[in-house]
């Protein structure tokens, strides 16, 4: 049985620039088949997760919403994320997607809505961001952010926010960037992006924190797992948490779902966190961060 201290740690939260709080450990449902999603999300709730990361492109928002409604947990205790897909990115498509995600999930509001990737050109990105700002103002979305943006896209977004403030009537009217989501792990640390976010108080979410299992047996990772009597996956989740990130491990296996959350009874030293991080730039997923501004 999970200890009270571990349960409290699992429910630790980070205050976002929007004023809302986000649980620091999330549960991802990327590539989880819709027919399995409700079951695995229920399993995650049973373990103690309260943060579910979905997207329109995952086609499982409806199953996530069903699990949320059936969970018995108060809605305000659950944090649900979705994302605007990058295809034909723009104001109207983003505006339509917010409505579609609300309908699909059956929820009254979405805790966090992200732009999934920086494709579509500058005007498309600005339009999509404006639509999300309006969704926040309408109470349909609580916090907004971006995913897979490179530093060049983040710098551009700051300009778009300033432009929207001027166009829409003053400070705050350009929206608040609360969260950024990227593939981050010791072999794709993205220090430039992490530093950009840290300077502005933007929370960093890390998808593929387990590197899709492709780094099992790496000497330092294996050594630390042996030292602490933990799995290599648990060491990687712990690394992400201690970097101050919000890891989003995913699994459809009930035992692994539990194990990925069982990371609060040990702590890496600062030296071990640094030792585990490599100089490699080796993403295992797509990498839109490198796309040019006019892509």
Residue 190 in this model has a pLDDT that exceeds 80: yes
**Per-residue DSSP letter, 288:** G
In the predicted model, what is the mean pLDDT of residues 144-155? 98
How far apart, in Å, are the Cα atoms of 118 and each of 97, 182, 255, 293? 16, 12, 35, 8
116 in a known ligand binding site: yes
Q: List residues with catalytic annotation.
A: 58
Query: What pLDDT does 7 receive?
Result: 62
Query: What pLDDT does 10 receive?
Result: 81
**pLDDT tens-place string over residues 96-118:** 999 999 999 999 999 999 999 99
Query: What pLDDT does 120 receive?
Result: 92
> Is residue 80 classed as helix, strand or coil in its secondary structure?
strand
| CA torsion through residues 188, 80, 22, 28, sign | negative
In the predicted model, what is the mean pLDDT of residues 15-31? 98
Rounded-to-integer distance, Cα 234 and Cα 256, Å: 10
Query: What pLDDT does 5 receive?
Result: 52
Name which of 159, 247, 153 is nearest 206 in CA terms. 247
> Using alpha carbons only, how large is the chain's radius of gyration in Å?
19
CB 288 within 8 Å of CB 233:
no
**pLDDT tens-place string over residues 32-52:** 999 999 999 999 999 999 999
Query: What pLDDT does 11 receive?
Result: 80
Query: What pLDDT does 3 receive?
Result: 56
Phi, psi of 31 (to 5 degrees): 60, 15
Residue 1 in this model has a pLDDT that exceeds 60: no
Rounded-to-integer distance, Cα 158 and Cα 137, Å: 19
Average pLDDT, the chain: 96
Choice between 9 and 229, residue whose per-residue pLDDT is larger: 229
């Amino acid at each position: 049985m999970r200890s009270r201290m571990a349960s409290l740690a699992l429910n630790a939260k980070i205050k976002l620039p929007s004023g809302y709080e986000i649980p620091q450990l999330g549960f991802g449902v990327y590539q989880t088949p819709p027919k399995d999603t409700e079951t695995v999300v229920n399993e995650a709730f049973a373990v103690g997760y309260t943060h579910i990361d979905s997207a329109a492109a995952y086609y499982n928002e409806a199953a996530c919403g069903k699990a949320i409604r059936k969970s018995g947990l108060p809605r305000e205790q659950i944090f649900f994320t979705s994302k605007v897909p990058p295809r034909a990115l723009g104001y109207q498509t983003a505006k339509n997607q917010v409505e579609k995600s609300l309908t699909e999930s059956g929820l009254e509001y979405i805790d966090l809505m992200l732009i999934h990737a920086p494709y579509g050109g500058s005007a498309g990105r600005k339009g999509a961001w404006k639509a999300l700002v309006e969704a926040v103002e309408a109470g349909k979305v609580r916090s907004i952010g971006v995913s897979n943006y490179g530093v060049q896209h983040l710098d551009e977004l700051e300009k778009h926010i300033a432009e929207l403030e001027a166009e829409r009537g003053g400070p705050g009217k350009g929206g608040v960037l609360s969260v950024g989501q990227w593939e981050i792990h010791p072999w794709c640390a993205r220090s430039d992006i992490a530093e950009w976010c840290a300077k502005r108080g933007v929370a960093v979410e890390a998808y593929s924190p387990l590197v899709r299992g492709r780094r099992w047996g790496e000497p330092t990772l294996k050594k630390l797992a042996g030292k602490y009597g933990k799995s290599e996956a648990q060491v990687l989740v712990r690394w992400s948490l201690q970097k101050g990130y919000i890891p989003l491990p995913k699994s459809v296996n009930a035992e692994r779902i539990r194990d990925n959350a069982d990371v609060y009874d040990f702590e890496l030293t600062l030296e071990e966190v640094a030792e585990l991080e490599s100089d490699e730039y080796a993403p295992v997923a797509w990498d839109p961060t490198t796309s040019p501004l006019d892509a």
